[in-house]
Amino acid sequence: MINKIKSHLLASIKSKKINVFMLFLLSAFVILIFNKLSKQYTNTVVFHVKKINVPLEHVILNDSSNLLYITLKTHGFKWLNYYMKEPEIVVDFKKDVYRKDSEYIWHKSIKYLKNTQFEDQVEVLNISPDTLYFKYGTNLVKKVPVVLKSDINFGLGYDVAGDFEISPDSISIIGPDILVSKLDFIETEPVTLVDVKSDISKVMTLSLPNTADLKFSNKSILLKGKVEKFTEGKLKVPVHVINSPDSLRIKYFPKEINVSYYVSLNNFNSVTVKDFEIICDYNKVGKTSTLTPELVAFPKQVKNAKINQQRIEFIITK
């Protein structure tokens, strides 16, 4: 029993000695840090330029060279600010720059920086480069169509009824005229759909240029398509000859040819012969002395309409 009491006392004494040692060690470390931070240091820091009050009619083109390398002298506590967050220098386009040709120009002024950008305890020793050039463009608004980039395969006997619906079908681009003028359309990101048998409704991302100089009214569109069961139809359609001279009488054969097409089951009965028109242009008669039939009109609800005969025989009678 006495031995247990002795061991507990010894352990308690040792524990207190360790705690006192750790306390002294921590105190020495804190004093060392404060001593280091209170000393003056000189270093060069990279500052990013923050542009404010840029005229609305102009847009500053991104330029990675718009950085300032500034050599500063200050104590360690102030240096912590530059390591905690990204250093910035503010350039006010109302008072800090002047315009020449197609550029805004900023010239260094240590006095200006010292009085407006840094605290009294920070000494500015050098700024490099001494001049910054900001290229700018005139803002332009341009509306361009959206182009669907897709690979859509339908299930057997299925197809989209009518055209795909893209909403919106065009977007506005805002930015420098030298950039906007080069864009005539915007594509969607590629999409692949396989064995489609039901209506399509899909949000699609636009493939936009990777630049902060341009702004876009939309970054995505909605693709819609009504998918229906399709079947093949076939009709005999009359052939009409046009542009034949009044002085000639022409006999041609056949006077009707087959037109095949695909149509949805819902619209199958609504398609009639009157919806199609086939002509042969006499002015296009070649060396073969035959007429070439052309399908010049067909109803919008049919797909893949084609004629099954490529030549029409004719003779001239007087």
Output the pLDDT for position 54: 86
C-alpha closest to that of 280 among 288, 290, 270: 290
Question: Looking at per-residue confidence, does 26 or 70 come out higher?
Answer: 70
For residues 88 and 82, give the distance between their C-alpha atoms in angstroms, rounded to a whole number: 9
Output the pLDDT for position 115: 58
**pLDDT class of 113 with cuts at 50, 70, 90:** low
Contact 60, 103 (CB under 8 A): no
The answer to whether residue 314 scores a pLDDT higher than 50 is yes
Contact 315, 249 (CB under 8 A): no
The answer to whether residue 154 scores a pLDDT higher than 50 is yes
Burial of 89: CB neighbours in 10 Å, binned 0-12, 13-18, 19+ = buried
Cβ contacts of residue 20 below 8 Å, gap of 6+? Answer: none
Output the pLDDT for position 31: 54
Output the pLDDT for position 26: 60
Six-digit token string for 235: 């009709």
DSSP 8-state code for residue 235: E
User: Which of 12-21, 68-77, 132-141, 263-272 tops mean pLDDT?
Assistant: 263-272
**pLDDT class of 72 with cuts at 50, 70, 90:** confident
For residues 144 and 273, give the distance between their C-alpha atoms in angstroms, rounded to a whole number: 39
The answer to whether residue 76 scores a pLDDT higher than 70 is no
Output the pLDDT for position 61: 77
The answer to whether residue 228 scores a pLDDT higher than 70 is yes
Contact 195, 227 (CB under 8 A): no
C-alpha closest to that of 238 among 258, 268, 218: 258
Output the pLDDT for position 233: 95
Task: Express each pLDDT in 171-209 by its tens digit.
Answer: 999 888 888 889 999 999 999 999 999 999 999 999 999
In this prediction, residues 9-36 reach a mean pLDDT of: 53
Cβ contacts of residue 122 below 8 Å, gap of 6+? Answer: 72, 73, 74, 78, 114
Determine the residue type at 134: F
Q: Mean pLDDT check: name the lowest of 114-123, 182-191, 306-315.
A: 114-123
Determine the residue type at 240: H
Cβ contacts of residue 201 below 8 Å, gap of 6+? Answer: 222, 223, 224
Tell me the CA distances in angstroms from 299 to 238, 242, 267, 280, 295, one per residue in order. Answer: 16, 22, 10, 20, 11
The CA-CA-CA angle for residues 209, 211, 215, to 5°, reads: 80
DSSP 8-state code for residue 273: G
Question: Looking at per-residue confidence, does 21 or 269 come out higher?
Answer: 269
Cβ contacts of residue 249 below 8 Å, gap of 6+? Answer: 316, 317, 318
Burial of 78: CB neighbours in 10 Å, binned 0-12, 13-18, 19+ = middle
For residues 48 and 203, give the distance between their C-alpha atoms in angstroms, rounded to a whole number: 37
**pLDDT class of 122 with cuts at 50, 70, 90:** confident
Output the pLDDT for position 187: 96
Output the pLDDT for position 9: 46
Output the pLDDT for position 19: 59
Task: Express each pLDDT in 236-292 by its tens digit.
Answer: 999 999 998 888 888 999 999 999 999 999 999 999 999 999 999 998 887 777 899
Place of tokens 């056949």: 254
